[in-house]
Structure 1
Amino acid sequence: MTDPRGTQFDLDQYIGMKVKKARLDEGLKLVDVARISGISQGMVSKIENAQVSTSLETLNKLCSAIGLSISKLFNDFDRPDGGAQFTKAGSGLEVVRRGTEKGHTYQLLTYKRGGKTAFEPFMITMDDLSEIFPTFSHPGEEFIYLVSGKLVYRHGNHLYEMEAGDSLTFDAEIPHGPEKLVEVPIQLLSIINYADD
C-alpha cells in the first residue's frame, strides 16, 4: 500500500497504522484494548508501531477488541496504484477538427500515446446562432451529451430537439451534426468509440 505522499508501507507498518486508526476512531486507550483483547498493553503498542510481526490469532483478538473485521483490515493493502489521466475543467487539449473553421472549439479531454485509440472524448463549444453547419461522417459509434444551451441535431433523416441534459447515441458513419443552434453558448460533450464490433 502507498500513502498519499507516495510512501510504500510494508505489511507490519500497514497493520499498525490501520489498527491504531481504528482504536482512535473508537475512542479506546491502549489499556482498554489490552483489557478487552487479553493481549498485553506492551504488545498492542508494539503492533501499532510495527515493532513486531503478530500471529493471525493475536491479530484476530486485537481486531475484535477494536471492532475491526479482518477482511476490512486488509481491504486496502494490495490495492493497485492506479494512475488515471485527470483533466481540469477548461484545460483539455485544443485540437483542429472539421468544425473548427466554422467557429467550433474542440477540446480533447484525454489522449493516449502510441497504440490504437479506442475512444476520443471532446468538449465542443459553439456560440454563433447564424452558423451553417456541414454534416460529419466518420468511423465508430458516437455519444453526445448536451451540457448547456439548446440545438437541433441531425442524424441521417432524423432531427432531435436537444436541451441541457439530453443525449444521443448513434452510428457515426451516418451523416450527422448540428442542424440549428437555438440557444447559445452551447457546450456539447462528444465521445467517439472506435472499438471493433
Structure 2
Amino acid sequence: MARKVKPQSLGQRIRRLRERQEMSLETVANMTGQSLENLALIEKDEMIPPVALLLTLSRALEVDSGELLKDEDEAEAAERRVEAVKKRTDHYSYRVLTPEAGHRHLKGFLVTIDPTSDLEGAGYQHEGEEFVYVLKGEAEVKVGQNLNQLKTGDSLHFNSNLVHTLRNPGEETAELLVVLFTP
C-alpha cells in the first residue's frame, strides 16, 4: 500500500526554501524588514503572514509567490487558518482565490479582518498595484499619509510600492476582495 505524503505547511515550505538557498533567518529578516521573531513564528506555523509579506518573502527566496501558497489541502488549510486566527493577535486571515496563478502577475485573495482591529506591523510595501473591494463591513486603508475609509461596496486602487496599512474600524467582521498585480 502506497504511503500518502502529507503536504507541507506554509511555514515548512518557507523554511525548506530558505534552507535550500542556504539563508539564515537573519539574512531573510534583513531582506524583508521583518523581525527574527516573526519569521520564526511563520516557519513554526504559529503566524500566518499577510499577503504583502508573502510577496516579499517570495522575492527574497527567489521563488514565485505561488510556490508559497500551493501543496496544502484546502480543507486542511482552512482549518489551520481558523486555528491560527485564534492564536494570533493580528485578527487577520486570507484565502487564495487564484491558486492557479503561478507565475502570472494577478493574484486574488479573500481577506477577513476581525472587528475593531488593526493588522500588526509598521505597514506593508511591495512592488506593483493593489485593488481592494469591501464585500462586507468596513475597512480603513492608509496609503502613505492618505487615509481611505471604505464601506461595503466601496473599492480602492493604489500603488502598493507605497507603505500601506489596513484596519477594520467597524463592529462586524470585514471581508475584502484583494487583487494584487506584481510585475
Provide TM-score, normalisation by structure 1.
Answer: 0.45
More helix by share: 2
Higher relative contact order (CA 8 A, sep 6+): 2
Provide TM-score, normalisation by structure 2.
Answer: 0.48
